[in-house]
Amino acid sequence: MDNHSPAIFVGDTLGLDFLNSVATPLDVQVDWIEDGEGLLRWLEQAGLVPRETLEVIRSQALPGELDKIADQARSLREWFRTFVHAHRGRPLTAAALDELEPLNRLLERDEGFSRITAKQPGEGGGLDFQSMRKWRSPEALLLPIGEALGRFVCTEDFSDVKACEGHACTLLFADHTRGHRRRWCSMAMCGNRAKQTAHRHRLKQGQ
């Protein structure tokens, strides 16, 4: 698996999926935003930026400009990872607000606006009121990420934020299951590995 493979979305919230954009799914670390093109692919897969907008930004960016934005995204990711690990497992309170100042500074750059648009035919027709954004430069690509992080901080219960129990797995997720007993990033990955390991252990004990 490399960063051209589809990114992993198992966090149950985009804020954690952003942190999971670097992971070790098959014993080798993969960073889906290791460069500018990787960032564009991840944003499209996450549904945070329309493909048409990404194509325009790609065509207008200066040489190396998107790589610099990807570097900023990775710095944001690791800053936010430290914050999440420091607070996960218990409710987040207003006392954490000062720690979130870097995120608020990012959100202040947003040039969002709203407009009336026509609904798609499959949506029943009529009109819709949509939030929009002006994409004045490649740096604007960080804004929907910041918005996702902000929504995550304000809407998720940090008591439900967990780290996968899989060996060497770095993935995080919000446990929305009944009883909050989720242990693995996914059964297809770490859950099945744990079952196989336990099975081999039982066989060995029975020898």
Task: Provide the terminal-to-terminal Cα distance of the chain, rounded to the nearest Å.
Answer: 36
- Residues 2 and 6: their CA atoms lie apart, in Å, by 9
Handedness of CA 129, 102, 81, 90 (dihedral sign): negative
pLDDT for 147-206, tens place per residue?
Answer: 999 999 999 999 999 999 988 889 999 999 999 999 988 877 786 765 665 545 555 665
Cα–Cα nearest to 19, from 42, 44, 53:
42
Which comes out higher in pLDDT, residue 202 or 108? 108
Average pLDDT, the chain: 90
Main-chain phi, psi angles of 162, to 5 degrees? -130, 160
In DSSP terms, 115 is beta-bridged to 130
High-pLDDT (> 90) share of the chain, %: 73
Please state the separation of Cα 80 from the chain's center in Å.
Answer: 11
128: its two tokens? 């819709």
Domains of the chain: residue spans and CATH: 14-108+136-206 (1.10.3300.10)
pLDDT for 158-169, tens place per residue?
Answer: 999 999 998 888
Q: pTM above the 0.85 mark? A: yes
